[in-house]
Chain A
Amino acid sequence: MTRIRIHGGRVVDPAEGRDEVTDVVIVDGRVDGFIGQEAGGEFDRTIDAAGLVVAPGFVDLHCHLREPGFEDKETIATGALAAAAGGFTTVCCMPNTNPTLDTANDIAFVYARAQAAHGARVLPLGTITRGQQGRELSDASELAGAGVVGFSDDGRPVWDGRLMRYALMESLRHKKPIVNHCEDPEIADGGVMNQGRVADLLGLKGQPATAEDVMVARDIELARETGGRLHLAHISTEGSVALLRMAKRDGLDVTAEVTPHHLTMTDAWVLGQRNGKASGRPYDTATKVNPPLRGESDRQALVAALAEGLIDVIATDHAPHRSIDKDCTYDEAAFGISGFETALGCLTRLVDDGQLTMLDVIRRLTWEPCRIFNLPYGRITPGLPADIVLFDPRAQWTVDAARFHSKGKNTPLDGETLRGAVVATLVGGDVVYERGTV
């Protein structure tokens, strides 16, 4: 029997409504209970959490681990470790690999790799359409049986409304979310950043916000008609927020996520202006992401929607790339930000600015994602696996992308100073990450 004690930390667990300084006892990988700081007992290891927040491990519903097929960008092993370094204990990986995750065999491969990895738990999504080609539906029953947590063609939208309608119908049977990347490709028209003042100034092709809005509207109406289970990936616009408000008001089975970068950055970053200061450089390809960084009014609408609980969860859309995918012109550069290891730091900034509470942030990173994807994690509850993160909400650190555990060093935050540092991450009671030791 292995007994671990997490000693002296402030335990914050939104699911249990707990926010108190107490010790957590873990026995054989599961939470055993809580004891007072002064209580005695024999432990194999006592982890000092004085001054730290002890929270359920973060759960990311949206990331790209690139394996199979793009192992030079990331592997399940490097991704799982990078996730743990960011405080994540469970991450759901998108199936836009090569081959795409279309069959039970593909899913078994991911689980086998995840088993061998040291870090966060990895749970795959399957494709909505075979090969993400948007022509015929994947075998959702087979994929559900193999253990996918949801379905997505992420990276590209399900453009064909008829297929999306059928996919939502199928979700009535397997009860798993259909996760759509909402982007009307004709309206987006190959845009490489947000359509707006900055795109006009830089002469870069913009994607209008309406490219996202119209597909969010379509999917919500299809969810209304079918009763299907719709989850909107990485919403980024004021318009999507308004549509989500309508969907929730009408009681539809619709949920949504937002990324740390859309909550904290705008298209001004593409111009080299960060937080009102000219501290970056124009055309920095690290800012290229899809959906693109939007305008300030979009960002504010997203933060407000998260604060009021309209947006259900925060998801990273961790999208690692090689340096050569970014060391090129803005038009040529790959879309994506390596997000695991800066997520907490980004979100702490919003807490420091008074726009969100730490309890909100933790809730949207733990209990809420588990609730909407029906995962048995996201809380510190006796009997459940001890998936726990310890972080210092006040610690300042400077982002050095070269030291990321992820293979993807692509972040616009390189060199920025953030507050909020992960100190240790436990998955099933195993310390899979400790700051300074990995």
Chain B
Amino acid sequence: MNAVIESAEHTNGATNGVAAAPIPWAGRRHVLDLNDFSRDEVLQVLETADRMKEVLARPIRRVPALRGRSIVNLFYEASTRTRVSFELAAKTLGADVVNVSATGSSVEKGETLLDTVRTLHALGADLLTIRHSHSGAPYTVAAHVDVPVINAGDGTHAHPTQALLDAYTIRERFGRVEGLRVVIVGDIAHSRVARSNAWGLHLLGASVCLCGPPTLLPPTTIAPAAEPPWPVEIDMDLDHAIADADVVMPLRVQLERQEGNRLASLRAYARDFGISRQRLARAAPGAIVMHPGPMNEGVEIDADVAHGAQSVVQSQVTNGVAVRMAVIYLLMAASQVGSKARAPAQHDRGGRREPQMEVRA
């Protein structure tokens, strides 16, 4: 833990070891979505990620902070960058990492999610990261099994670590997040990235606009006299929305979700909502383009934009490791303290960190 902690001590001017250092996430049990995060907690991620980036810049990218700890990445859905990112993050922190995917595990034999998680818990997992195609799956796990859970993307609901790495990348480019205008474009209705970014970027003071065709916007955002359930504005006209945007974030058109004829054609989508160089020229000077990946080049983003000077897509991926290191590190620190200080939060309905879904207007 020394390398990380030395750095922390230096930053904080503290003289004690980890036990006496303030625990930034004290009481936090899980990372399920950003809607139950405070602004301070998010800032603590960004600051910790700065230090993790230093670790990643070293010739030997390994610290012993989580030596002897087991982290299981349980992925029920295909993923390249998120899975590898979580794996590298945990390994860089010195943890033992086990990857379990739906294929090639007992899931194929029909084992239920909860039984799989109970098994992994019994095998000694200290932390679970879960990617699942069903919204709320990490909440179900957190409610039934006494193990810290990080949501690595659940259905169309949330992807908190993606939103944190997006915030980190924005802050890295602009030096701040506050006051920036962020336009997220595309299949908002099915986007866990958009939902989590709506909470996270709002906490940090950005204004967020969700833009897409009406069939791909969450129904309550377009209903007559509707108020969006997030602190965002809604726009169906990209040419209008993109004006003065500091950050433009096209989302992947989820081809597998278009069976219901929500779109006339991909061509029509690209024409109206694709990020082309001409469209990007309407954004604010110095605007950046982000994408959570994987990209459909030529659909939601033109290749020359995706790989152009304004694109920070590769930085997002790189930063993802540092941000996930920070999240894992902070949660493990908090849960170690928490497990000594208080009884397990399981079935603790009144507990502050029970995964409540607090609505913020």
B134 / chain A contacts, CB cutoff of 8 Å: 329-332
A271 pairs with B221, CB closer than 8 A: no
Contact of A203 with B140 at beta-carbon distance under 8 Å, contacts A272-B356, A278-B356 already known: no
Contact of A208 among B114, B219, B260 (CB under 8 A): B219
Query: In the complex, how many angstroms separate the beta carbon of B145 from the nearest chain A beta carbon?
Result: 11
Supply 9 A–B pairs (Cβ within 8 Å), ascending by A.
A195-B219, A203-B157, A204-B136, A205-B156, A273-B359, A278-B356, A281-B356, A285-B140, A330-B136
Q: Say whether chain A's binding surface is mostly helix, strand, loop, or mixed.
A: loop
A197 / chain B contacts, CB cutoff of 8 Å: 220, 229
CB contacts under 8 Å to B, within A268-295, are 271-273, 278-283, 285
- If A201-B229, A204-B156, A285-B140 are given as contacts, then 11 extra A-B residue pairs at C-beta distance below 8 Å, sorted by A number, are A189-B260, A196-B219, A271-B357, A278-B358, A281-B349, A281-B356, A327-B144, A329-B137, A330-B135, A330-B136, A331-B134
Interface string of A326-370 (1 = CB under 8 A from B): 011111100000000000000000000000000000000000000
- C-alpha gap A200/B113 in the complex (Å): 24
A375 within 8 A of partner (CB): no
B344 within 8 A of partner (CB): no
B94 within 8 A of partner (CB): no
B140 pairs with A283, CB closer than 8 A: yes
B357 / chain A contacts, CB cutoff of 8 Å: 201-202, 271-272, 282
B358 pairs with A327, CB closer than 8 A: no
Query: In the complex, how many angstroms separate the beta carbon of A115 from the nearest chain B beta carbon?
Result: 38
Query: B196: nearest residue on chain A (CB-CB)?
Result: A203
Contact of B135 among A196, A204, A208, A327 (CB under 8 A): A204
A39 within 8 A of partner (CB): no
B324 / chain A contacts, CB cutoff of 8 Å: none
CB contacts under 8 Å to B, within A246-275, are 271-273
- C-alpha gap A285/B157 in the complex (Å): 16
CB contacts under 8 Å to A, within B55-112, are 112
A324 within 8 A of partner (CB): yes
CB contacts under 8 Å to A, within B307-334, are none
Query: In the complex, how many angstroms separate the beta carbon of B242 from the nearest chain A beta carbon?
Result: 24
Contact of A196 among B112, B157, B220, B355 (CB under 8 A): B220
B235 / chain A contacts, CB cutoff of 8 Å: none
- C-alpha gap A339/B297 in the complex (Å): 52
A428 within 8 A of partner (CB): no
A79 within 8 A of partner (CB): no
- C-alpha gap A197/B359 in the complex (Å): 10
A202 pairs with B135, CB closer than 8 A: yes
CB contacts under 8 Å to B, within A90-106, are none
Contact of A271 with B359 at beta-carbon distance under 8 Å, contacts A203-B158, A281-B354, A329-B140 already known: yes
B192 within 8 A of partner (CB): yes
Contact of B154 among A203, A280, A324, A332 (CB under 8 A): A203
- C-alpha gap A110/B235 in the complex (Å): 57
Query: In the complex, how many angstroms separate the beta carbon of B227 from the nearest chain A beta carbon?
Result: 8
- C-alpha gap A280/B348 in the complex (Å): 10
Number of interface residues of A (CB under 8 A): 31
A14 within 8 A of partner (CB): no
Q: A-B pairs with CB below 8 Å: how many?
A: 91
Interface string of B114-148 (1 = CB under 8 A from A): 10000000000000000010111101100110000
Contact of B112 among A199, A279, A328, A330 (CB under 8 A): A328
Contact of A202 among B114, B157, B358 (CB under 8 A): B157
Query: A327: nearest residue on chain B (CB-CB)?
Result: B114
B218 within 8 A of partner (CB): yes
CB contacts under 8 Å to A, within B339-359, are 349, 354-359
Interface string of B269-293 (1 = CB under 8 A from A): 0000000000000000000000000
- C-alpha gap A168/B195 in the complex (Å): 46
- C-alpha gap A273/B356 in the complex (Å): 9
A420 / chain B contacts, CB cutoff of 8 Å: none
Among all A-B residue pairs, the 7 with the closest Cβ atoms: A203-B157, A283-B136, A329-B134, A203-B135, A282-B357, A203-B156, A200-B218
B144 / chain A contacts, CB cutoff of 8 Å: 327
- C-alpha gap A189/B260 in the complex (Å): 9
Contact of A329 among B132, B156, B218, B229 (CB under 8 A): B132
A206 within 8 A of partner (CB): yes
Interface string of A192-221 (1 = CB under 8 A from B): 000111011111111010000000000000
Interface centre among A195, A203, A278, A331, by most chain B C-beta atoms within 10 angstroms, is A203
A280 / chain B contacts, CB cutoff of 8 Å: 349
Contact of A324 among B112, B157, B220, B354 (CB under 8 A): B112
Contact of A328 with B113 at beta-carbon distance under 8 Å, contacts A203-B195, A208-B219 already known: yes
Query: In the complex, how many angstroms separate the beta carbon of A100 from the nearest chain B beta carbon?
Result: 26
Query: B158: nearest residue on chain A (CB-CB)?
Result: A203
Contact of A200 with B157 at beta-carbon distance under 8 Å, contacts A281-B349, A329-B134 already known: no
- C-alpha gap A280/B350 in the complex (Å): 9
Query: In the complex, how many angstroms separate the beta carbon of B45 from the nearest chain A beta carbon?
Result: 22
Query: In the complex, how many angstroms separate the beta carbon of A43 from the nearest chain B beta carbon?
Result: 48
B355 / chain A contacts, CB cutoff of 8 Å: 281-282
B219 pairs with A327, CB closer than 8 A: no
- C-alpha gap A205/B144 in the complex (Å): 23
B114 / chain A contacts, CB cutoff of 8 Å: 327-328
- C-alpha gap A43/B220 in the complex (Å): 64
B155 within 8 A of partner (CB): yes
CB contacts under 8 Å to A, within B27-54, are none
Query: In the complex, how many angstroms separate the beta carbon of A337 from the nearest chain B beta carbon?
Result: 18
Query: B260: nearest residue on chain A (CB-CB)?
Result: A189
A204 / chain B contacts, CB cutoff of 8 Å: 135-136, 155-157
A328 / chain B contacts, CB cutoff of 8 Å: 112-114, 140
Contact of A200 with B229 at beta-carbon distance under 8 Å, contacts A283-B139, A324-B112 already known: yes
- C-alpha gap A76/B137 in the complex (Å): 34
B230 / chain A contacts, CB cutoff of 8 Å: 201
CB contacts under 8 Å to A, within B143-173, are 143-144, 154-158
- C-alpha gap A415/B348 in the complex (Å): 13
Query: A278: nearest residue on chain B (CB-CB)?
Result: B356
